[in-house]
Amino acid sequence: MALVFYYVTGFFIAVSVIANVVETVPCQPPKGSFKELPCGEKYQLAFFCMDTACVLIFTFEYLMRLFAAPSRCKFMRSVMSVIDVVAIMPYYIGLVMPENEDVSGAFVTLRVFRVFRIFKFSRHSQGLRILGYTLKSCASELGFLLFSLTMAIIIFATVMFYAEKGTKGSTFTSIPASFWYTIVTMTTLG
């Protein structure tokens, strides 16, 4: 039974994450219109139904784990529990305040948290848990690497800005605008 629940939960996590991505893809415009709409706007009802089904499953799973936990307070403070709540919270806030102009910016920010549902996979995957433990044990080394990379980006972006300063048509209009070029060049993506 636990294996079936594992696969059902995994399926709904995958559906939720994929739907979250597909919502942003531009769809063909309706006949007579030239404006492309994101699929999430064009097929709003379908995506809402999918999101509702996923959130109901996630809410049910969370409540069952909460009631089965020996220490509910400890469970609610665990990282995975917080991720679960943060992942489903935007849906319920959207139901309570569907078109509230005052919080629309904050609500859009909250929708970003839906992607946290992907972290629910780590509960069911031993490989992802091992990766998490490895990253946690190397946190200081990774932090130093990130700090070094950030410093290199700032230095080289500054060099690029001043090297191109005053050149007509330069895309390096500021040091922050030079960050992207520097990141792409340093990681050999470009």
pLDDT on residue 99: 67
pLDDT on residue 117: 67
C-alpha span between 139 and 142 (Å, rounded):
5
Query: How do the pLDDT tens digits run along the chain, 190 residues long?
Result: 777 887 888 888 888 888 887 887 888 776 777 777 788 888 889 988 998 999 999 899 899 989 999 999 999 998 888 888 888 887 888 788 766 555 555 655 666 666 666 776 666 677 877 888 898 899 999 999 999 999 999 999 888 888 887 788 888 878 888 888 888 888 876 5
pLDDT on residue 105: 55
C-alpha span between 33 and 27 (Å, rounded):
12
Q: Which domains does the chain have, with CATH numbers?
A: 2-127 (1.20.120.350), 140-186 (no CATH)
CA triplet 32, 34, 39: central angle to 5 degrees? 100
pLDDT on residue 8: 85
Q: How distant, in Å, are the alpha carbons of 19, 183, 186 from that of 190?
A: 30, 9, 9
